[in-house]
Amino acid sequence: MRKKFEAKSSNPNFLRFILEEVDGIMSGNEMNSYERCMASLNLEEPDRVPVTSLICTIAAKWAPAYVSDFVKSGELMAKGFGAAHDKFHFDFLDAYPDVGRIPEAWGCKITYVEKSYEVTPYISGWIVQKPEEWEKLQNFDPEKKESTAALMKSMEILNKKYGNTVLWAIESSSPITTSTHIRKMSDTLVDVVVSPDLLHKGLKTITKQWIDVGKASIEHGANAILQICTRATADLLMFGQYLEFGWPYEEQFLKEMARLFPDAPRLIHVCGDEPYLEAIAEHSIQGFNFYDRGLARSPLSGFRYSLDKAKEKFGDKRTLIAGIDQNKTAIIGDAEDILCEARDAILWAAKGGGYWLAAGCDLPPQMSDDKVMALSKAAEKWGKYPLKWSYR
């Protein structure tokens, strides 16, 4: 059982002294970002805690470019995502600008807000209007559609610049998540109950499409796979429904990626107030990103997924990617608040490896650069191995 540190000294500067000592520890040869991430995914201790976060719309201002221009240009995307590494020292790059790229390639209407550095494009028209249309869904070549071809271009640029010195991927939404992007979510959830056979046909087509996109992403230079499972939560699906309509298609995609590209690590991001983390952890993955600062409990075990509890439950088999509250601290806090929250996360979860410092979802576009920089500062200050200080 982990216990929080209780100072034995009456000296009020005791904790500050210890943390300053940790800051001065050198850990030997410095790894590059790829080596650092891979060591951590192997549940080993790298030179320091890897730093990352999902960086979608926020990367537009690092290009810099208006969001409406950023998401359509491979060159601008590569510049913005590359800044996450060059400027903010992120070790893993999530090179995907918004959820509209795949739906737009499929024919959905995407609305863009002009001359904005912060407003994400949103889906305003869905191609599947009736359950019967799941049967008519057709796959496309990701290299020939304008919105996905731009993604491939960004990957080529990033690969040319970084090669295998940085771990990076594009997001691949899970099939059930994608189904709620190409058909209105409320209608898709009705299909789960009323038209399950037709929905399954659509999910099979979507799964094949993501396999094609994932394959193209690796062939154009990505070296990792990131699947976004934003519907794997009791907020939207009962567990039996998730096991039928979510998990099998997610796993089919992951297994095919593992077969085609065994050296590319596979990661998952999961959203929701009641995520099915026990099921997510059973996927063919090396690590997962989740919102540890929320207050929700597991709908399966009653577990509250604080980072320390998640480390106890999953830390011996999966790398945990979490620690920063993107809904509160990243928006209304300051850089000092980010540092404090990051230090707390590192002290809870970094010991023994298998931990990346990150927010629980994508960084909000309103987040200032000094707060983003605080992540890597915290990793340098308290996350160097071998750790001499932790709550565990």
Q: Return the pLDDT at 279.
A: 96
Q: Return the pLDDT at 20.
A: 42
Within 81-150, strands assigned E span 92-94, 109-111, 122-125
Angle among Cα 49, 259, 247 to the nearest 5 degrees reads 75
Mutual angle of helices 369-382 and 335-349, in 10-degree steps: 30
In this structure, are residues 319 and 358 in contact, taking their beta carbons and an 8 Å threshold?
no
Structure tokens at 88: 């903010």
Residue 327, pLDDT above cutoff 50? yes
- Assess if residue 17 is contained within a domain: no
- Assess if residue 392 is contained within a domain: no
What whole-number distance in Å separates Cα of residue 378 and Cα of residue 182?
A: 40
* Nearest alpha-carbon partner for 275 in 295, 253, 255: 295
For CA atoms 366, 372, 375, 381, give the dihedral sign.
negative
Alpha carbon 57 to its chain centroid, in Å, reads 14
Q: Say whether the peptide bond before residue 103 is cis (omega within 30 degrees of 0).
A: no
Q: Return the pLDDT at 37.
A: 98
**Considering the entire predicted model, what is its pTM?**
0.91
pLDDT digits (tens, 9 = 90+) for 237-276: 999 999 999 999 999 999 999 999 999 999 999 988 899 9
- Assess if residue 247 is contained within a domain: yes
Q: Buried b vs exposed e over 192-205: b needs ≥16 C-beta within 10 Å?
A: beebeebbbbbbeb
* Nearest alpha-carbon partner for 254 in 200, 316, 203, 210: 210
What whole-number distance in Å separates Cα of residue 14 and Cα of residue 113?
A: 51
Judge residue 117's burial from the number of C-beta atoms within 10 Å of its C-beta, 0-12 exposed, 13-18 middle, 19 or more buried. Answer: middle
Residue 155 belongs to domain spanning = 22-382
In this structure, are residues 167 and 265 in contact, taking their beta carbons and an 8 Å threshold?
yes
pLDDT digits (tens, 9 = 90+) for 14-26: 334 333 443 443 3
Percent of the chain with pLDDT over 90: 86
Least confident of 17-26, 219-228, 251-260, 339-348: 17-26
What whole-number distance in Å separates Cα of residue 271 and Cα of residue 250?
A: 15
What whole-number distance in Å separates Cα of residue 47 and Cα of residue 30?
A: 6
First to last CA, the chain: 8
> Looking at residues 82-101, what average pLDDT do you find?
96
Residue 296 confidence class, pLDDT cut points 50, 70, 90:
low
For CA atoms 14, 20, 26, 30, give the dihedral sign.
positive
> Looking at residues 287-316, what average pLDDT do you find?
87
- Assess if residue 6 is contained within a domain: no
Q: Return the pLDDT at 14.
A: 32
Give the count of domains, the chain. 1
**CATH number, position 44:** 3.20.20.210
* Nearest alpha-carbon partner for 77 in 88, 87, 67: 67
- Across the chain, what does the average pLDDT equal? 91
Tell me, what DSSP letter sits at residue 30?
A: P
* Nearest alpha-carbon partner for 285 in 269, 307, 271: 269
